[in-house]
Structure 1
Amino acid sequence: MASVLTDIWVKCEKLDCVNSFKYLGAFFASERAKPEILARIAQTTAALTHLKTIWNIRKIALSSKIRLMRSLVTSILLYACESWTLTVDTGRWIQAMEMGCLRTLFGITYRNHIFNEEVRNRTRQVIRPLEDLLPTVNRRKLKWYGHVTRSTGLAKTILQGTVQRLDWFDAGRRHDET
């Protein structure tokens, strides 16, 4: 599906039209959020791997490991998630990443044939108020949207962009031209 590029004007200034850009460490592209989510998953996997020695220490309680994972690992994944356009596929990727993290903490491999629901139950037994990542992403998106709609300025103008309405004179002139 080809996208149509149109000129965007904000307060009488034309904005440059680009296919992708990086802003504050987050990658924004015309292909929705797919490249950004894949990059975040790769960075999260790298962080999880770097902390492998901590995950293997038996003296650290599982609840502490889960808290460490939430603060050190999943925070990398959730950075700038407010700007993502989620699809069914990207939602599955996020859930798979979360399951991979939890399986690593519990020392569960896919060869153990333990279902994801069992992994979630074990997690809830260790630490009760643990929200899944996908609802967390959706909650953050809604929170950001509410913040922007309550504000004034360029962000609100762009987010709630509207087309300037034609008055009756312009509409009549346009009708005569066709």
Structure 2
Amino acid sequence: MLIFLYACGSWTLNADIERKIRAMEMRCYRRLLGISYKDHITNEEVSRRTENAIGPHVDLLTIIRQRKLKWYGHTTRSSGLAKTIMQGTVNGGRRRERQKKRWDDNIREWTGLELRNTLRKAEDREEWRAVVGRSSAAPRRIPNLRDR
């Protein structure tokens, strides 16, 4: 899974990508445990068995969020090209159709702060670590209609 996380700090996560990440993680767990889809074992049971086998672990989405938020804080405190690109704007506007999610939209969504406030908080390393700890936890899965 380490290869999977390469450059994950640069990804823009939307609902579709998050769903695919969860599915890939479950496929890996099923393969490690030798569980086939034909066995009709739920994902919750696979997660329980994984936790029994390796102990408490952090899911991939949480790791991705932590890495992205940490990278954001790191580049905000620096004075290099990455900071200029991350905070810079391009002349012109966005398209007229439905707007696609941007990289910084994830930061705003996860922290619950406006971008100017995240910039201020990221300057203080200890305060930013606290924000990352609070913000990186993956939200609980929304139950499907068939789960009810």
Q: Secondary structure at the match of 1:148?
A: helix
Q: Aligned-pair RMSD on alpha carbons?
A: 1.6
Higher relative contact order (CA 8 A, sep 6+): 2
Flag the structure with higher strand content: 1
In the alignment, which residue of structure 1 is the partner of 2:57?
Answer: 130
Q: 1:97 and 2:11 equivalent?
A: no
Q: Measure, in 2, the Cα distance between the counterparts of 1:104 and 1:154.
A: 42
Gap runs ≥5 in structure 2: 92-148
Deviations 1:103-137 (A, max 9, x none): 00111111111010111111111222310111111
Q: Residue 141 of structure 1: CA displacement?
A: 0.5
In the alignment, which residue of structure 2 is the partner of 1:117?
Answer: 44
In the alignment, which residue of structure 2 is the partner of 1:66?
Answer: none
Q: Residue 84 of structure 1: CA displacement?
A: 0.4
- How many residue pairs get matched? 91
Q: Secondary structure at the match of 1:77?
A: coil
Aligned match for 2:73, one of 126, 142, 146: 146
Q: 1:81 and 2:8 equivalent?
A: yes
Gap runs ≥5 in structure 1: 1-73, 165-178
Q: Measure, in 2, the Cα distance between the counterparts of 1:85 and 1:135.
A: 14
Q: Could you tell me the TM-score, scaled by structure 2's length?
A: 0.58
Deviation beyond 2 Å, 4+ runs, structure 1:
none
Deviations 1:34-71 (A, max 9, x none): xxxxxxxxxxxxxxxxxxxxxxxxxxxxxxxxxxxxxx
Q: Which residue identity does 1:108 align to in structure 2?
A: I
Q: Could you tell me the TM-score, scaled by structure 1's length?
A: 0.49
